[in-house]
Homo-oligomer: A and B are copies of this chain.
Amino acid sequence: MGRRTVTMNDVAREAGVSVMTVSNVLNDRSNVGPETRQHVLEVVDRLGYEVNLTARRLRSGRTGTVGLIVPRFDLHYYGELASLISDALAADRMHLVVEQSGASRERELSALSLARLQQYDGVLLSAVGLDMADLDRIHPDLPIVLLGEQDVPDRYHRVHMRNVPGARLATEHLITRGARRIAVLGGKLTAPRQEMATHRANGWSDALADAGLDPRPDLVIPLQDYSIAEARARITDVLAAGLEIDGVFAVTDEVAIGALAGLHDAGLRVPDDVQLVGFDNLDISAHLTPGLTTIDPDRPTMVAESLRLLRRQLEDKNAAPEHVVGTVSLVIRGSTRN
């Protein structure tokens, strides 16, 4: 209980060797005799010694830990992302820890303080609230990979999704299947910065224009937090206000789930009365009724690429920044007609 923490010194004294030898044993360095190693390990075990990672880090700079910064823990997208990354890193014997920045700029900047970031060997940053200028202020001497949509300074390594083509694909599919009055739920035509909502609204708008349809502003239904509840409430509002639609492109699957509920509330059947397409291909989307037609951003590849970029920087501080663009594909399920 109250007993003092066992340090390397204690082990060294007990084993009758120097701390350096203990350190060498614990770090699997080659320059230790076999029976010395054996003996040290025995003592380590007996005393229940565990290395102090803080001290190691202070001295060596290495932590064995990668940080993932996400806007929110409770958006399923980030949970699935974190899970994939964590599993992939485990193969490299590294640990993932996840922090939530909150979607607000203030909390994001705080999570992003150099002080916090420097605790990691590398950082995967999925930041939504920051603009170029913010990112430009961060000058961590530390590997970072940006995951996401926004424009970022060229010096950043970055993996991003093909948002506009993905949204276009979704919308074209709705048009192909006969929808003509297609709303974009969660889209934004204008915003202070380009972001997921504007990119995906642009793809929607492009597809409509190509098909000779009018991307009317009243078909663009912006959201704040992209939660299921918000999406359901907003679509209920616009339907009650008399908006007539036969298709919905929801900017995320989570938004689509809300739309599904809201449409059902209004007595509209999916896909018979209104067809619906999402974006993200969450695990759950295959298991809704009806199954959700959606855009698959090939997360496994995005994760693999992110980690590749991270490893490159880990190996070579001055690796030239790379921009990787993912692929998107359409997954057709029951929420659109045959």
A interface residues with partner B (beta carbon < 8 Å): 1-3, 5, 48, 50-55, 57-58, 67, 72-76, 78-80, 82-83, 86-87, 90, 95-100, 102, 107, 111, 113-116, 118-119, 139, 141, 155, 227-229, 232, 257-258, 260-261, 264, 283-284, 286-289, 317
Instruction: Tell me the minimal C-beta distance from A153 to chain B in angstroms.
Output: 12
A283 touches B99 (CB 8 A): no
A97-B95 contact given A50-B114, A90-B107, A287-B258, CB 8 Å threshold: no
B100 touches A83 (CB 8 A): yes
Cross-interface CB contact of A58 among B58, B67, B80, B155, cutoff 8 Å: B58
Residues in B with CB closer than 8 Å to A2 are 141, 317
Given contacts A48-B139, A67-B97, A73-B86, 14 further A-B contacts (CB under 8 A): A2-B317, A50-B113, A74-B79, A74-B80, A79-B79, A82-B98, A95-B116, A97-B97, A98-B99, A227-B283, A258-B287, A260-B287, A261-B289, A284-B284
Residues in B with CB closer than 8 Å to A55 are 58
Residues in B with CB closer than 8 Å to A76 are 74, 76, 79
Instruction: Tell me the minimal C-beta distance from A22 to chain B in angstroms.
Output: 15
Which of A1, A3, A115, A317 has the largest number of chain B CB atoms within 10 A?
A115
Bound together, the chains give a CA A156 to CA B118 distance in angstroms of 32
Residues in B with CB closer than 8 Å to A48 are 139
Residues in B with CB closer than 8 Å to A99 are 95-98
A98-B98 contact given A53-B119, A260-B289, CB 8 Å threshold: yes
Residues in B with CB closer than 8 Å to A51 are 115
Residues in B with CB closer than 8 Å to A86 are 73, 100, 102
Bound together, the chains give a CA A113 to CA B75 distance in angstroms of 29
Bound together, the chains give a CA A119 to CA B115 distance in angstroms of 15
Cross-interface CB contact of A53 among B53, B95, B118, B228, cutoff 8 Å: B118
B73 touches A115 (CB 8 A): no
Bound together, the chains give a CA A75 to CA B86 distance in angstroms of 14
A98-B73 contact given A54-B54, A119-B54, A264-B289, CB 8 Å threshold: yes
Residues in B with CB closer than 8 Å to A118 are 50, 52-54
28 A-B residue pairings within 8 Å (CB atoms): A5-B141, A50-B113, A50-B118, A52-B115, A53-B115, A53-B118, A54-B54, A67-B97, A73-B80, A73-B82, A74-B76, A74-B80, A74-B82, A74-B83, A75-B79, A82-B100, A86-B100, A95-B99, A97-B97, A97-B98, A228-B283, A228-B284, A228-B287, A229-B283, A257-B287, A260-B287, A261-B289, A289-B289
Residues in B with CB closer than 8 Å to A53 are 115-116, 118-119
Residues in B with CB closer than 8 Å to A58 are 52, 54-55, 58
Cross-interface CB contact of A257 among B57, B115, B284, cutoff 8 Å: B284
Bound together, the chains give a CA A75 to CA B141 distance in angstroms of 34
Residues in B with CB closer than 8 Å to A287 are 228-229, 232, 257-258, 260-261
